[in-house]
Amino acid sequence: MSKKSIVLIGILSLLLTAFFGAAAAADSPTVLRLWHLQAGPLGTALEELVEDFNSQHPGIEVRPEFMGDATALHQKIMAAIAANDPPELAQVAETYAANYIAEDVLLPIENFFDGPNGLSAEDRADLVPTALKIATYDLEGRDTVVVWPFNISLEVMFYNPEMLAEAGLAVPSTWDEFNDVVRSLHLDNERWGYAWTPDVVLFINLLRSHGGRLFNDDLSEAAFNDEIGLEVMNYLVELVDNGTMITNGFDWQFELINERAALATNTIVSKAYIEADLGDRFELGVAPIPAGSKRSAVVWGSAFGIFQVDDEKSRAAWEFLKWIGKTEQVARWSAVSGYLPTRYSAFEDPLIKEQMEVNAALRVGLETLEFAQPEPNFVAWPQIRSAISNAVNAVALGLMTPEQALRDAAQKTNRILLMAN
C-alpha cells in the first residue's frame, strides 16, 4: 500500500466517522425506561401499545421492562433511588405513590397540564374525575395531580342469578336486602349466602355508605370508632351469623364458581378470572355494590409516574403519557385488560361500545364511577389499613367484640398518626 492511499483512507475514515457520528447523534432517540407491573397477556398488550408509540415518535424510544408485582417493583424503585438512577417512567401502585411523593422523587404531572404541550379544555372535561382523584395527592397542603391514571378498578357485587331466581329473590341493591339474601340462601354446611375474605374494603364501603368516616378532617385522629363504626361492625357479625363463608385469599372465587355461595364483593377485574374458571356452570351476574343511606364503592388504580429527570426526558415522558391517555389508546387498553377507561370518550369508542352491549360489568362500572371513592392515600395509610384489617378479621372470626376491636384499631391508628405527624 502506498503512503498516499494510507492518507486517503485515513481522511476518508475520519470523514465517515464524523458523518455517522453526527448522524447517530441526531438520530439517537431519547430513551425512556418504563418499569411496569403488567404480567402475561396484559404485559404483551402494553408492549404492543408502546411499540405503536415508538413507531409514531421517532425521537423517543420507550422501553417497557416488566418488574413483577407491586412489592417487587417498589423494591426496585427503592434500590434505584438509592443508586441515584431511577427510571424515567414507572407504573406506581397507590400504596407506594404517597411515599414517592413525600420524598419528592416524582415530577407532578399537573406541571405539564398548562404547558405548551398541555391538555385542552376538552381533554380535561373528558377525564373521569374519579380517575384523577386516585392520581391526586396532598402536595404541601395543595391537592395536586401527581401521576397519570392508567388502570382503574372498583368494587362491584358478583352474584349467581340462578340461585337468586330459584329462591325468588331480587338482586340486592341495599345492604339490608343483601343481608336478607344471605340469610335466605344459607343452608347449613352446604350453601352460603356470601363468600368473603375478611378485609378492610368491605368495612370502608359500609362505613362510607352509612355516612361514616375513617378520619377526622385534619387527619390527626381515627373517626371510625363511633356509632356508625359500631353499627358497621355489628352488621358484619350479623352477616357472618346469617350465612357468610369466611374464605382465604382468592378462595371466594371457587365458592362462587361451584355454586356454594351466591354473592361476593370484589374488584371488577376479578370477573375475567371467575369466568375463565366458570365453564358453563352459570352466567355470572355483576351489579353495583349495595347502598346504605347513600351509595359508595371503593375504587383503586395504578398510574404512571415521571421520576425527577432532566427537562428533555421529562418532556418526552409527558409526550408518552399524553399519548397513552388518548381516547384510542385508553379504549384499546381497557378492552384487553378489563380495567375501566379513564376517559368518558373511550366509553363511546366502538371498541368499548361493542363490549358494553354484551358486558354488563362495564355498564355497572360506568355507573359506579360516579360515586366511587378511593382509599385514603397518605404515607401512613398502609399501616393503618393493616390495623383495621386485623380488627375486621377478629370480629369476623368471633375473637373480639365489635366494641373491643374498634377501640383497639382506633388506638393503634391514633398512635400511627401521631408518629407520622
Partner 1 sequence: MQNNAGVKRREAFHPSPFKAALDKARPYLYLAPAALILFTFHLFPIVYGGFISLHQWGLKPGKMVGLQNYKLILADAEWWDSLLNTFYYVLTTVPLELGLGMLFAVLLFGKIKGRNLYRLSYFAPYITPLAAIGVVWGWVFNYNTGIINGVIRMLGGSAPRWLLEPTGILTLLGRFLGVKIPFGLEGPSLALVTISIVTVWHYVGFHTVIYLGGLTQIPKELFEAAKIDGANSFRVFRHIILPILSPTTLFLSVVGTIGAFQSITLIYVMTGMGWGGAGASGHPLGTTRVALLYIFEYFFTYTQTGYAMAGAILLFFIILFLSLLQMKVAGRRVFYLGEGD
Partner 2 sequence: MRAYKIKWTVVLRHLALFSGACVMTFPFVWMILTSLKTSPEAAAIPPTFLPKELVLENFSRAWESAPFGRYFLNSVLQSVGTTVLVLFSSITASYSFSHINFKGKKVLFTLFLATMMVPVEISLIPNFVTIRHLGWYDTFYSLTVPFGANAFSIFMLRQAFMGLPKDMWDAAYCDGCGHFTYLLKIALPLVKASVSIIALLTFVGSWNSLLWPLIITSSTKMRTVQVGLLAFTQEAGTNFPLLMAASAFVIAPVLILFFFTQQHLIEGIAHSGVKG
Site residues (CB under 8 A) for partner 2, limited to 180-199: none
Q: Figure out which of the listed residues 30, 43, 95, 215 binds partner 2, where binding follows CB under 8 A.
A: 43
Alpha helices in 103-195 (DSSP H): 110-113, 121-126, 129-134, 161-166, 175-185
Single out the segment in contact with partner 2 by CB under 8 A; choices: 128-136, 230-238, 258-266, 308-316. Answer: 258-266
Written as nine digits, the cell of 350 is 366502538
CB closer to partner 1 out of 375 and 403: 375
- Cβ pair 70, 284 in contact under 8 A: no
Q: Give the nearest distance from C-beta 95 to partner 1 in angstroms.
A: 4
Written as nine digits, the cell of 297 is 364503592
DSSP letter at 141 equals: T
Give the C-alpha separation, 53 to 30, whole Å.
Answer: 13
Q: Figure out which of the listed residues 247, 253, 342, 368 binds partner 2, where binding follows CB under 8 A.
A: 253
Q: Give the nearest distance from C-beta 190 to partner 2 in angstroms.
A: 12
Give the C-alpha separation, 246 to 397, whole Å.
Answer: 8
Site residues (CB under 8 A) for partner 1, limited to 69-88: 70-71, 74-75, 78, 81-82
Q: Figure out which of the listed residues 166, 238, 277, 312 binds partner 2, where binding follows CB under 8 A.
A: 277
Q: Figure out which of the listed residues 45, 80, 102, 380 binds partner 2, where binding follows CB under 8 A.
A: 80
Give the C-alpha separation, 51 to 88, whole Å.
Answer: 17
255 touching partner 2, by CB under 8 A? yes
CB closer to partner 2 out of 151 and 345: 151
Q: Figure out which of the listed residues 254, 282, 344, 378 binds partner 2, where binding follows CB under 8 A.
A: 254
Among the listed residues 297, 301, 302, the one whose alpha carbon sits nearest the alpha carbon of residue 369: 297
- Cβ pair 153, 301 in contact under 8 A: yes
CB closer to partner 1 out of 345 and 377: 377
Single out the segment in contact with partner 2 by CB under 8 A; choices: 72-80, 170-178, 240-248, 412-420. Answer: 72-80
Site residues (CB under 8 A) for partner 1, limited to 88-147: 93, 95-96, 99-100, 102-103, 105
404 touching partner 1, by CB under 8 A? no
410 touching partner 1, by CB under 8 A? no
Give the C-alpha separation, 174 to 292, whole Å.
Answer: 6
283 touching partner 2, by CB under 8 A? no
Q: Figure out which of the listed residues 1, 25, 83, 358 binds partner 2, where binding follows CB under 8 A.
A: 83
- Cβ pair 316, 32 in contact under 8 A: yes
Chain-centre distance of CA 111, in angstroms? 23
Residue 137's DSSP bridge partners are: 144
Q: Give CA separation, 6 vs 19, 101, 204, in Å.
A: 20, 60, 80
Judged by CB under 8 A, the number of residues near partner 1 is 44
**Residue 42 interacting partner from partner 1, partner 2, none (CB closer than 5 to 8 Å by kind):** partner 2
Q: Give the nearest distance from C-beta 152 to partner 2 in angstroms.
A: 12
386 touching partner 1, by CB under 8 A? yes
102 touching partner 2, by CB under 8 A? no
255 touching partner 1, by CB under 8 A? yes
**Residue 45 interacting partner from partner 2, partner 1, none (CB closer than 5 to 8 Å by kind):** none
Give the C-alpha separation, 86 to 79, whole Å.
Answer: 8
373 touching partner 1, by CB under 8 A? no
Among the listed residues 192, 227, 234, the one whose alpha carbon sits nearest the alpha carbon of residue 213: 227
Site residues (CB under 8 A) for partner 1, limited to 26-55: none
Written as nine digits, the cell of 362 is 362495564
Q: Give CA separation, 310 vs 24, 86, 89, 101, 107, in Å.
A: 21, 12, 13, 18, 10
CB closer to partner 1 out of 1 and 419: 419
CA angle centred on 373, ends 99 and 342, rounded to 5°: 85
415 touching partner 2, by CB under 8 A? no
**Residue 309 interacting partner from partner 1, partner 2, none (CB closer than 5 to 8 Å by kind):** none
Backbone torsion region of residue 145, taken as left when φ is above 0, otherwise alpha when ψ lies between -120 and 50, otherwise beta = beta
**Residue 393 interacting partner from partner 2, partner 1, none (CB closer than 5 to 8 Å by kind):** partner 1
* DSSP code per residue over 53-92: HHHH-TTEEEEEEE--SHHHHHHHHHHHHHTT---SEEEE
CB closer to partner 1 out of 13 and 71: 71
Q: Which residues of this protein are in contact with partner 2, per CB under 8 A?
A: 33, 35, 39-43, 65-69, 72, 75-76, 78-80, 82-83, 85, 153, 250, 253-255, 257-258, 260, 266-267, 269-270, 272-274, 276-281
